[in-house]
Amino acid sequence: MMISMTGDFRWAIFMAVSVMGWGCTGGGQAPVEQDPEAGRMYYGSVIDLDGAVDAQGLRSALKTEGRAAVRFEGEITGTCAKKGCWMDVASGEDTVFVRFLDYGFFVPTEGAEGKRTVVEGEAFFDTLTVDMLRHYAEDAGESEAYIAAISEPELQLAFTATGVMIED
């Protein structure tokens, strides 16, 4: 029995390391739908663009529930340079950290900065650990000195998207 538990433990460690290594490697993903006449690309689910709120609207929605299903718009300020598995979206005085539901889709790894986006999904506040902040800084191509200087967890306005539209 002890050998089986050790084997199971090794298997669990192998799987955990494999999944962590898969996390943010490779390149971006092709859009699921393109609307060239309107200059729009959709990733994940094709979403309706009407009724999108800004970051202030996100904060208002979060005051009552702590989590809110919303459509949000802003300007992309950065994406994961390794795979496109996250993006930062600026709106007003806030920057919202956007991840994609179950890593089911990705956005371009470069060239999206400065473009308007609408994302649909769930908004919430998230505390990112020092390790996660360092991981995301590494993905963004930050310097070793910048990464090493990260020493405190950070509360962020976050979003898990089911669909993303990026305008050209």
Q: How far apart are CA 158 and CA 99, in angstroms?
A: 8
- Residue 13, in any domain of the structure: no
CATH assignment at residue 93: 2.40.50
Per-residue model confidence as pLDDT tens digits over 70-123: 999 999 999 998 899 999 999 988 999 999 999 999 999 999 999 999 999 999
- Global pTM value: 0.76
Range of the domain at 130: 27-167
The pLDDT value recorded for residue 92 is: 85
Per-residue model confidence as pLDDT tens digits over 2-58: 444 444 433 333 333 333 344 454 455 667 778 777 899 999 999 999 999 998 888
- Residue 134, in any domain of the structure: yes
- Total number of domains in the chain: 1
- Residue 77, in any domain of the structure: yes
